[in-house]
Amino acid sequence: MKVGKRQTLKVNRISDFGLYLTDEEGAEVLLPNRYVSLENAIGDEIDVFVYHDSEDRLVATTEQPLIMEGQAAALKVVDKSIHGAFLDWGLTGKDLFLPNRNQQGGVIAGRKVVVWMYIDNITGRCVATQKLKAFIDNDIITVEPRQKVDVLVASESPIGYRVIINSRHWGMIYKNQLFRPIAIGERVEGYVRRITEDNRIDITLQRDGYGGVSDSADVLVRLMQQNGGVLPIGDNSTPEEVHRLTQMSKKVFKRAVGVLMKRGDIVAEPTQIKLK
């Protein structure tokens, strides 16, 4: 039974409290009635998340948590005690514990903290930690340039934002590469822009190369179709106007317009572009 993970388990028996599910080794866990359908029957397979409830019993849920074992996420602090803080991880009736020993800096109720989730080797329970260095590193790089990756914004510096890539590596998004505001705790899709000789990873939020420009050109076509065939932005428009209407930097917008003009799909004017 994999605590802290989603897994497919089989209905073994039905009780007044819910369904008892088993794994391939015969270990059993309760799926409470609030997650059970009248259509469920013995032998059915159900995708569930397994964890310990507030009474320290192993239970299953069909809810999707905001974080699982081996992942990083930004979670809201919902309460504090003398022993630690409690985080909203998306499960009904149960918060994720962040012990005092795992905290770093001030933890304030109502704010989000960036944490990693692991399974405590003594209690077997899901636990959060803000001390990320033991879990996230760039010793062995598992991504490559231009690869699409999951990006979690962890902290801000004068030159950019330090991010967690695929819950595994550290990376950086430089402020001069940004075409829209981002915030600490935000999770976005990004692309690996560069990997340096000393294993530093630079991230961009826009896809590089022709593929990215082609994607942006398709976005412009859809926006024009939704707006009567016209977009009121062009070469004379400000970067702010371009971003407000397209979520693109002006540089990417101009490249995409060039692709559409070569295709013969649009007419470009100083203050607007329109479909032919």
Residue bearing the bigger pLDDT, 166 or 54 = 166
- Structurally, at CATH architecture level, domain 6-61 sits in Beta Barrel (2.40)
HSE-up of residue 190 (Cα within 13 Å, Cβ side): 33
pLDDT of residue 210: 45
pLDDT of residue 273: 94
Give residue-wise pLDDT tens across range 201-242.
999 987 764 455 777 888 899 899 999 999 999 999 998 888
Which CATH superfamily is 148-204 part of?
Answer: Nucleic acid-binding proteins (2.40.50.140)
Q: Strand, coil or helix: what is 261?
A: helix
Tell me the two tokens of residue 212: 């990215």
**CB-CB contact of 151 with 165 (8 Å):** yes
pLDDT of residue 56: 87
Amino acid at 220: L
Cβ-based neighbour number of residue 117 at 10 Å: 25
Name which CATH class applies to 209-275.
mainly alpha
Alpha helices by DSSP H, listed for the chain, are 209-226, 239-246, 250-263
pLDDT over 90 at 178, yes or no: no
pLDDT of residue 244: 84
pLDDT of residue 255: 87
Give residue-wise pLDDT tens across range 254-272.
988 999 999 999 999 999 9
pLDDT of residue 218: 85
HSE-up of residue 140 (Cα within 13 Å, Cβ side): 1
Q: Phi and psi of 215, rounded to 5°?
A: -60, -45
Q: Do 209-275 and 6-61 fall under one CATH topology?
A: no
Map out the domains of the chain as residue ranges.
6-61, 72-129, 148-204, 209-275
pLDDT of residue 250: 86
**CB-CB contact of 2 with 50 (8 Å):** yes
pLDDT over 50 at 186, yes or no: yes
Distance CA 49, CA 6 (A): 4
pLDDT over 60 at 156, yes or no: yes
Strand order in the sheet with 266-269: 230-231, 272-275, 266-269
Fold of 72-129: OB fold (Dihydrolipoamide Acetyltransferase, E2P) (2.40.50)
Give residue-wise pLDDT tens across range 20-68.
999 999 999 999 999 998 888 999 999 999 999 888 899 999 999 999 9
Distance CA 206, CA 179 (A): 9
Local confidence band at 149 (pLDDT 50, 70, 90 cut-offs): very high
Give residue-wise pLDDT tens across range 65-115.
999 999 999 999 999 999 999 999 999 989 999 999 999 988 999 999 999
Beta bridge partners of 164: 152, 170
Q: What's the CA dihedral at 22, 28, 31, 37 to 10 degrees?
A: 40
Sign of CA dihedral 225, 231, 235, 238: negative
